[in-house]
């Protein structure tokens, strides 16, 4: 089943944009009510669908990773009001889209493999959604909007009830300026007693939500926050040292984990490579270095791609610098940043000899 799914998807993937358009056209035809769950502009949603498919195909032979991801996705989809009939329509639309672009590679056995895989996926998502007694989403009020630079803002919010996330996880958010345009952001702080959550948001090209958050969010705005997702975390009791690789605002979940670890006297060693193009991209460096001065288990290494005159930093891409230090075989590895940064860093680490089962990253981290 795994081989047939991967081989047929390899044929389909070059036609990603057409696959996504066909999928959503079929879905809205089969279940018109689902159209109200999505924004008018579907461009970002289509790219997100393909990222999800790629992620699932990559993990299809790793059920210990795939099933927890699907269960989180099922809980997250409660915010849309998804019901069983929607899963049926999604399955039909997905198989139809893959079949249309798989060409001669689509055989009855391949169709059976995709149908079986989707049934397993849908069951895991539905069971998780039905078992979750928590809210489908939380309302949160913006307390502060701090413009750090022309393209970066720090936003602090007060949820109406504490959001039960773990340091390192991410959540979906909806802002009043961009209704139905849900985006994923990682809290940059560990859970606090007062419940306040801090997000670091950088405006990206074509980012409807991120540009709105940076430029137009105001104190008093009400956001909606979906259930927490993601598998970035540190088990302090495991006795395994940690390697963190963060690009840009991908440092937010790392900061949250470090924030939590700093509450304890003893911790595994943490080596954080924090990268960007120029020094201005390393907006959180001073805060992290301040934490490191009083926590000897933490080492912070700044990395710059396009600032050869800078001192006290490593030069090159994160993939270059991290692998220059070795394969890190004995460490648990956490990676967060843009999809391109994650792909290049993980690929280079695998070539350098880092075991795949040591590396963790999340698929939905960009507007």
- Is 234 a domain residue? no
The residues facing 138 across adjacent strands are 225
Say which residues have a Cβ less than 8 Å from residue 3's Cβ, sequence separation at least 6: none
pLDDT digits (tens, 9 = 90+) for 125-154: 999 999 988 899 999 999 999 999 999 999
For the whole model, what pTM was predicted? 0.84
The pLDDT of residue 367: 42
- Count each helix (H run) and each strand (E run) in the chain, helices first: 11, 12
Both 70 and 164 in one domain: the answer is no
Kindly tell me if the per-residue pLDDT of 108 is higher than 50. Answer: yes
Greater confidence (66 vs 170) lies with 170
Both 344 and 321 in one domain: the answer is yes
Q: What is the CATH number of the domain that holds 159?
A: 2.40.30.10
Both 95 and 194 in one domain: the answer is no
Both 105 and 187 in one domain: the answer is no
Both 26 and 127 in one domain: the answer is yes
Q: Rounded mean pLDDT of 312-321? A: 94
Kindly tell me if the per-residue pLDDT of 276 is higher than 80. Answer: yes
Q: Which two tokens stand for residue 202?
A: 């950088």
Both 115 and 6 in one domain: the answer is yes
Q: Are 77 and 19 in contact (CB under 8 A)?
A: no
Q: Give the domain-ending residue among 131, 154, 184.
A: 131
Greater confidence (55 vs 157) lies with 157
Q: Are 262 and 291 in contact (CB under 8 A)?
A: yes
Both 101 and 171 in one domain: the answer is no
Both 108 and 6 in one domain: the answer is yes
Both 8 and 123 in one domain: the answer is yes
Count of domains forming the chain: 3
Q: Give the domain-ending residue among 190, 205, 229.
A: 229
Q: Rounded mean pLDDT of 266-275? A: 96
DSSP class of residue 170?
A: B
Rounded distance, CA 177 to CA 223, Å?
A: 10
Say which residues have a Cβ less than 8 Å from residue 10's Cβ, sequence separation at least 6: none
Q: Give the domain-ending residue among 115, 131, 147.
A: 131
The pLDDT of residue 52: 76
Domain residues for the domain of 224 are 138-229
Both 155 and 100 in one domain: the answer is no
- Is 235 a domain residue? no
- Report residue 256's pLDDT band, with 50, 70 and 90 as the boundaries: very high
Q: Rounded mean pLDDT of 317-323? A: 96
The pLDDT of residue 44: 65
Q: Rounded mean pLDDT of 301-317? A: 90
State which of 1-15, 29-43, 100-114 shows the largest mean pLDDT: 100-114
């Amino acid at each position: 089943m795994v081989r047939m799914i991967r081989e047929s998807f390899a044929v389909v993937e070059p036609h990603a944009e057409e696959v996504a358009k066909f999928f959503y056209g079929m879905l809205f035809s089969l279940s018109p009510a689902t159209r109200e769950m999505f924004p008018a502009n579907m461009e970002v949603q289509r790219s997100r669908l393909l990222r999800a498919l790629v992620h699932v195909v990559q993990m299809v032979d790793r059920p210990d990773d795939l099933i927890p991801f699907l269960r989180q996705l099922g809980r997250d989809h409660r915010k849309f009001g998804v019901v069983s009939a929607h899963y049926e329509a999604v399955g039909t639309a997905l198989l139809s889209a893959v079949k249309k672009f798989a060409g001669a590679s689509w055989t009855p056995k391949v169709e059976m493999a995709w149908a079986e895989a989707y049934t397993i996926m849908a069951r895991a998502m539905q069971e998780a959604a039905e078992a979750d007694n928590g809210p489908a989403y939380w309302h949160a009020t913006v307390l502060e909007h701090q413009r750090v630079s022309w393209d970066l803002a720090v936003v602090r919010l007060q949820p109406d009830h504490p959001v039960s996330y773990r340091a390192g996880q991410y959540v979906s958010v909806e802002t009043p300026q961009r209704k139905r345009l849900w985006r994923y952001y990682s809290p940059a702080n560990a859970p606090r007693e007062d419940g306040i959550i801090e997000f670091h948001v950088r405006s990206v090209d074509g980012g409807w939500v991120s540009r709105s958050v940076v430029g137009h969010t105001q104190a008093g705005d009400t956001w909606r926050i979906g259930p927490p997702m993601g598998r970035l975390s540190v088990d302090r009791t495991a006795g395994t040292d940690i390697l963190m690789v963060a690009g840009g605002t991908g440092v937010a979940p790392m900061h949250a984990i470090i924030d939590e670890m700093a509450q304890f006297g003893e911790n595994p060693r943490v080596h954080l490579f924090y990268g960007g193009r120029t020094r201005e991209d390393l907006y959180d460096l001073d805060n992290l270095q301040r934490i490191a001065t009083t926590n000897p288990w933490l080492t912070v290494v700044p990395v710059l791609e396009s600032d050869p005159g800078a001192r006290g930093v490593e030069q090159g891409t994160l993939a270059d610098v991290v692998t220059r230090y070795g394969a890190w075989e004995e460490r648990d590895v956490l990676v967060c940043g843009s999809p391109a940064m994650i792909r290049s860093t993980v690929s280079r680490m695998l070539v350098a000899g880092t075991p795949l089962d040591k590396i963790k990253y999340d698929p939905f981290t960009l507007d």
